[in-house]
């Protein structure tokens, strides 16, 4: 007996065997069981989601000799003939090959005649959107008022091309693309029944590559079985599909999380030895970053179905939420720009290097911060890493001041037995620059004004224009930074409102405007510029002037 491909062998024969499409099946089952049948049904959706299969099962349900129901017997002559494609009362038409109006008229010539053997004469027109306008016009009258013994089942992948007059005469059911979870679970059931060995991650690869089509998934599975000489392995499926081994993607992201540029580039080089599709590699990196972000925000909803939960959780702990979001955006832009790179590998490497170069500086977990005299802490880590080259202020920022005894800021030492204090709220911008905050937390803090500080209690007012970006975790990060800096417990409250004083962001904007005005004034007063303007009747483009320190 010749081999039958999985897509045909495992085509559902009853509604109960269908995978997914519950919203369509429920409506059809209820209509059949309660005898509320329409004369025309339209099934829409992409290829391989079950349009024609549902139509054939519906035809069985209508013509089963046991009676109209949602559970055809499957053994009567009518059910067997429909299953084998030889029922004289089921007229299957491929509209793509019969687009002329003459074909449609010929098809409808025998509509008025009763079915030969069955209860209903069923017209199943596939890819109905391929009919010409004249063919639709010829179909309209019959479609609207067919004889009681006729049912029309239409299927299309492009319902937008159907005239509104046709759509209004049909019950329309939109079939959804199947998610990888559904496809992988069904493939596992099929392979278990077929007694074919497989690795579960390989089924996920097939499910994602099928792009929502169960038929494509089964066809790819047939190909994978042949490729793997009777078995399905993750490595074999990746090789067949040309996808990237996730081991390399993990290695790249783990090196980026550690700030290790050498390890990141070594992982890319190792990946390149296997001739990967770097566009697919960026897609896998995007998928991994998405799973990491979900694990950070909703640990209970982390995707653990691929057998790599430990690595995802480890990455979620190694990266801040801001890092994960920033890296995702960089990978997304890198994927978009990849066709314009000199070659795919260099485009992928530049995306990874961009993650390393623009990753915000982090507050060390061990609390090692600059001491109050401006020198690095003895217990802190040595200078190095991805942020080692960041520019430092030429002059040290003022150290925090304690109430007693009064002394100049530059030489004041912290009395750990007393509460931290600032001489004025105007010093808050300078203090913020020394806290080591980064990312969204730094942005929130820079839009806060220190309204009051009593002992170890700090009360800030956040510009209410920034309230949409604020969450309680930001206040806790700011509190920890202050506590580590002063080496004493502190409490922080942040209230929305209109700051009465100048926030660090306001001061930065003011200083930038002042530098811009100074630069414009310097250019305007330059003798050579004035001579050029006068000689060539020119005009100064102020928008092109930029301060040297900007």
Residue-wise pLDDT for 230-258, tens only, equals 889 988 888 888 777 788 899 999 999 99
Q: How many angstroms separate the CA atoms of 118 and 158, rounded?
A: 31
Other beta carbons within 10 angstroms of residue 101's beta carbon come to 16
Three-state SS for 477-545 is: HHHHHHHHHHCCCCEEEEEEECCCCCCHHHHHHHHHHHHHHHHHHHHHHCHHHHHHHHHHCCCCCHHHC
What is the rounded average pLDDT for all residues in the chain? 83
Instruction: State the pLDDT at residue 134.
Output: 85
Contact 439, 322 (CB under 8 A): yes
Instruction: State the pLDDT at residue 530.
Output: 86
Pick the CATH number of 180-241 from 1.10.8.60, 1.20.1250.20, 3.40.50.80, 3.40.470.10: 1.10.8.60
Q: Has domain 422-502 been given CATH number 3.30.300.150?
A: yes
Where exactly are the structural domains of the chain?
6-174, 180-241, 246-357, 422-502, 506-544
More confident residue, 255 or 410: 255
Other beta carbons within 10 angstroms of residue 176's beta carbon come to 16
Tell me, yes or no, if the two domains 6-174 and 422-502 fold the same way. Answer: no
Q: How many angstroms separate the CA atoms of 190 and 164, rounded?
A: 40
Site of tokens 């801001």:
322
Question: Domain 6-174 sits in which CATH superfamily?
Answer: P-loop containing nucleotide triphosphate hydrolases (3.40.50.300)
Contact 63, 83 (CB under 8 A): no
Q: How many angstroms separate the CA atoms of 231 and 236, rounded?
A: 9
Other beta carbons within 10 angstroms of residue 408's beta carbon come to 9
Overall CATH class of domain 246-357? mainly alpha
pTM: 0.56
Task: Tell me which of 120-129, 340-349, 355-364, 396-405 is least confident.
Answer: 396-405
For the ranges 417-426, 512-521, 539-548, the one whose mean pLDDT is highest = 512-521
Instruction: State the pLDDT at residue 221.
Output: 93
Contact 38, 142 (CB under 8 A): no
Contact 439, 461 (CB under 8 A): no
pLDDT at 227 over 50: yes
């Amino acid at each position: 007996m010749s081999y039958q491909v999985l897509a045909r062998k495992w085509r559902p024969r009853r509604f109960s065997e269908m995978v997914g499409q519950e919203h369509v099946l429920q409506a059809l089952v209820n209509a059949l069981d309660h005898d509320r049948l329409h004369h025309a049904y339209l099934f829409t959706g992409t290829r391989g989601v079950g349009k024609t299969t549902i139509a054939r099962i519906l035809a069985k349900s209508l013509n089963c000799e046991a009676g109209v129901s949602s559970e055809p017997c499957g053994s009567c002559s009518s059910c067997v003939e429909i299953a084998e494609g030889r029922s004289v009362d089921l007229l299957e038409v491929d509209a793509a090959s019969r687009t002329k109006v003459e074909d449609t008229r010929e098809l409808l010539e025998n509509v008025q005649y009763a079915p030969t053997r069955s209860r209903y004469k069923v017209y199943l027109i596939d890819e109905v959107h391929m009919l010409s306008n004249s063919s639709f016009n010829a179909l309209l009258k019959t479609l609207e008022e067919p004889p009681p013994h006729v049912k029309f089942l239409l299927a299309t992948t492009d319902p937008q091309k159907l005239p509104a007059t046709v759509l209004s005469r049909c019950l329309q059911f939109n079939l959804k693309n199947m998610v990888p979870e559904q496809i992988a679970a069904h493939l596992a059931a099929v392979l278990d029944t077929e007694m074919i060995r497989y690795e579960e991650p390989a089924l996920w690869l097939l499910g994602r590559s099928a792009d929502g089509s169960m038929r494509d998934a089964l066809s790819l599975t047939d190909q994978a079985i042949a490729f793997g000489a009777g078995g399905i392995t993750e490595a074999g499926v990746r090789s067949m599909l040309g996808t990237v081994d996730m081991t390399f993607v993990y290695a790249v992201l783990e090196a980026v999380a550690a700030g290790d540029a050498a390890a990141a580039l070594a992982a890319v080089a190792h990946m390149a030895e296997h001739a990967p599709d770097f566009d697919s590699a960026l897609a896998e990196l995007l998928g991994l970053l998405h799973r990491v972000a979900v694990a950070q925000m909703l640990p209970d909803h982390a995707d653990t179905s691929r057998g790599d939960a430990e690595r995802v959780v480890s990455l979620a702990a190694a990266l801040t939420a801001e890092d994960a979001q920033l890296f995702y955006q960089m990978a997304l832009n890198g994927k978009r720009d990849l066709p314009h790179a000199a070659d795919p590998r260099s485009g992928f490497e530049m995306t990874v290097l961009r993650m390393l170069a623009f990753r915000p500086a982090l507050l060390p977990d061990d609390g090692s911060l600059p001491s109050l005299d401006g020198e690095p802490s003895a217990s802190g880590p040595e200078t190095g890493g991805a942020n080692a080259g960041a520019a430092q202020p030429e002059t040290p920022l003022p150290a925090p001041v304690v109430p007693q005894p009064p002394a100049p800021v530059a030489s004041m030492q912290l009395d750990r037995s007393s509460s931290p204090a600032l001489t004025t709220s105007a010093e808050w911008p300078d203090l913020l620059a020394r806290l080591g905050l980064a990312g969204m937390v730094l942005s929130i803090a820079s839009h806060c004004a220190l309204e009051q500080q009593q002992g170890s209690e700090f009360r800030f007012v956040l510009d209410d224009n920034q309230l949409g970006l604020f969450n309680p975790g930001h206040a806790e990060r700011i509190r920890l930074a202050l506590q580590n800096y002063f080496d004493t417990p502190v409490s922080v409250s942040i209230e929305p409102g209109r700051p009465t004083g100048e926030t660090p962001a306001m001061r930065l904007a003011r200083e930038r405007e002042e530098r811009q005005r100074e630069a414009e004034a310097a250019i305007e007063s330059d003798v050579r510029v004035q001579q050029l303007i006068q000689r060539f009747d020119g005009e100064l483009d102020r928008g092109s002037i930029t301060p040297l320190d900007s």
